[in-house]
């Protein structure tokens, strides 16, 4: 392409991508600058590494990074693990498959906050789960299920919300594999699991990577599920950032925000790489 062509493409993209880039770019710039002491709302604005040093030394920050990574990784992996068999099941149309597909994708249309409050109601001390478990005689009395220490509630919500997205991407990729290719693998002696490892997974690895990266970024930066259904004694990075901001510690909040962006970026890259290597390794075994 010639320079005028490139210019034309750039100008055409400018109203859309340019605007987004400008807004996100300015926020990212301010966050980075603030984490190094600039845009200081409560004192002198000057370059400093003090805020980074202070935050990186805090156990609270370490714990919130570990916790956010735990939620992000688990949600991404669990979502694709559940989505793959469903995508394979829905690969070929059958009576009712459209309805099942639509119902499975419904969480995409439910707001996260609504889902979180619904979930909290269901598992509440006098909620339906507790009542049911007592009714069937497994529990003698109600149990506290809310805000559990291992963040099971957050993981369930994240997986419930994100699995349909993985399903959407994986269904398309799985449907693109021709019947003949799968039949050929069968004909060559591959059983169901070998067909998945050696044919389906390698041919859908791009969709798998995309799903994992997007889910990971969303889940690692989770705030609402954590705030409503998460453990009380732990904070996600987003929660920690909001805590610092609420306390007027803008520079510390910026350090957490920039760390979160870096973790999301590097983590998603690593996750995509590991997913590809894992699929390749599994297909060679």
Q: Which is nearer to another protein, 105 or 186 (CB)?
A: 186
Distance CA 86, CA 2 (A): 46
Q: What is the DSSP letter of 285?
A: -
Residues 79 and 215 sit within 8 Å (Cβ to Cβ): yes
- The continuous run of DSSP H or E covering 123 comes out as none
Q: How far is the CB of 181 from another protein (least distance, A)?
A: 5
Q: How far is the CB of 168 from another protein (least distance, A)?
A: 22
How far apart are CB 268 and another protein at their closest, in Å? 23
Interaction site with another protein (CB under 8 A): 178, 180-181, 183-191, 194, 198-199, 202-203
Shorter beta-carbon distance to another protein: residue 150 or 178:
178
Structure tokens at 227: 């705030």
Q: Which is nearer to another protein, 57 or 187 (CB)?
A: 187
Residue nearer to another protein on the CB measure, 18 or 202: 202
Q: What minimum distance in Å lies between the beta carbon of 171 and another protein?
A: 19
Q: What is the DSSP letter of 257?
A: H
Q: How far is the CB of 273 from another protein (least distance, A)?
A: 17
Cβ contact 211:169 at 8 Å: yes
If the CB atoms of residues 155 and 174 are measured against another protein, the closer one turns out to be: 174
Cβ atoms within 10 Å, residue 53? 10
Query: What is the SS3 assignment for 264?
Result: helix
CA distances from 227 to 72, 89, 159 (A): 15, 35, 16
């Amino acid at each position: 392409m010639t320079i005028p062509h490139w210019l034309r493409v750039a100008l055409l993209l400018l109203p859309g991508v340019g605007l987004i880039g400008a807004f996100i770019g300015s926020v990212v710039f301010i966050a980075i600058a603030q984490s190094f002491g600039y845009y200081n709302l409560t004192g002198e604005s000057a370059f400093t590494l003090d805020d980074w040093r202070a935050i990186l030394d805090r156990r609270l920050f370490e714990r919130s990074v570990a916790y956010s990574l735990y939620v992000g990784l688990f949600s991404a992996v669990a979502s694709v693990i559940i989505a793959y068999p469903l995508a394979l099941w829905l690969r070929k149309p059958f009576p009712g498959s459209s309805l099942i597909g639509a119902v499975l994708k419904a969480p995409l249309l439910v707001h996260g906050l609504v889902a979180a409050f619904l979930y909290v109601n269901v598992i509440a001390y006098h909620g339906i789960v507790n009542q049911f478990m007592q009714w069937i005689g497994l529990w003698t009395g109600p149990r506290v299920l809310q805000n559990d220490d291992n963040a099971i509630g957050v993981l369930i919500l994240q997986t419930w919300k994100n699995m349909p997205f993985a399903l959407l991407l994986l269904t398309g990729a799985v449907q693109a594999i021709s019947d003949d290719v799968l039949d050929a693998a069968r004909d060559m002696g591959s059983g169901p699991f070998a067909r998945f490892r050696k044919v389906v997974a390698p041919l859908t690895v791009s969709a798998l990577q995309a799903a994992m990266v997007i889910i990971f970024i969303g889940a690692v930066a989770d705030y609402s599920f954590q705030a409503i259904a998460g453990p009380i004694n732990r904070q996600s990075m987003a929660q920690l950032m909001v805590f610092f901001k609420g306390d007027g510690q803008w520079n510390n909040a910026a350090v957490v925000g920039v760390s979160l962006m870096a973790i999301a970026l590097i983590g998603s890259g690593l996750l995509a790489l590991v997913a590809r290597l894992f699929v390749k390794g599994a297909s060679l075994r």
